[in-house]
């Protein structure tokens, strides 16, 4: 086995694992601050992952809301309700995607649906 900390692909190939897609990820983090004291109340992270399988490209978006304080919890509830309103106006394909996002919301928060 050849180990290369600088080149994980070579390391995996030496173990007879092969790359079947390329992935690039971009994350944008928005901190929601209390205007009175600049304390972070919650965080909104938006991820864009781009997978390339041979000549096909798949793009996946993920939205994460994380509370940092008790007040942040209420801000997240408001954001989630607004996202639900937005998703209710989508086409059937877009709604299927929204259902996947809602399932991820449940997995991350333990709450059913968008309403807390």
Please check whether residue 9 lies inside any domain of the structure: no
Please check whether residue 14 lies inside any domain of the structure: no
Please check whether residue 97 lies inside any domain of the structure: yes
Please check whether residue 86 lies inside any domain of the structure: yes
pLDDT for the residue 52: 86
For 60, the domain range is 20-109
Please check whether residue 1 lies inside any domain of the structure: no
Q: Could you write out the three-class secondary structure of the chain?
A: CCCCCCCHHHHHHHCCCCCCCEEEEEEEEEEEECCCCCCEEEEEEEEEEEEEECCEEEEEEEEEEEECCHHHHHHHHHHHHHHHHHHCCCCHHHHHHHHHHHHHHHHHHCCCCCCC
Please check whether residue 4 lies inside any domain of the structure: no
Number of domains the chain contains? 1
Please check whether residue 13 lies inside any domain of the structure: no
Please check whether residue 93 lies inside any domain of the structure: yes
Q: What is the pTM of this model?
A: 0.53
Residue-wise pLDDT tens digits, 51-79 = 888 888 888 888 888 888 888 888 888 88
Give me the tens of pLDDT residue by residue for the chain, a chain 116 residues long. Answer: 667 778 877 888 888 887 777 888 899 898 888 889 999 998 888 888 888 888 888 888 888 888 888 888 888 888 888 877 776 766 666 666 666 666 655 555 554 444 33
pLDDT for the residue 115: 39
């Amino acid at each position: 086995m050849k180990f290369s900390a600088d080149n994980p692909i070579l390391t995996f190939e030496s173990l007879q694992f092969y790359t079947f897609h390329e992935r690039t990820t971009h994350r944008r983090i928005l901190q929601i601050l209390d205007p009175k004291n600049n304390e972070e109340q919650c965080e909104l992270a938006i991820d864009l992952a781009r997978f390339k399988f041979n000549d096909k490209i798949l793009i996946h978006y993920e939205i994460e809301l994380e509370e940092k304080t008790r007040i942040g919890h209420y801000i997240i509830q408001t954001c989630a309700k607004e996202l639900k309103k937005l998703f209710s106006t989508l086409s059937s394909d877009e709604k299927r995607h929204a259902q996947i996002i809602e399932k991820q919301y449940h997995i991350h928060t333990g709450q059913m649906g968008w309403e807390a």
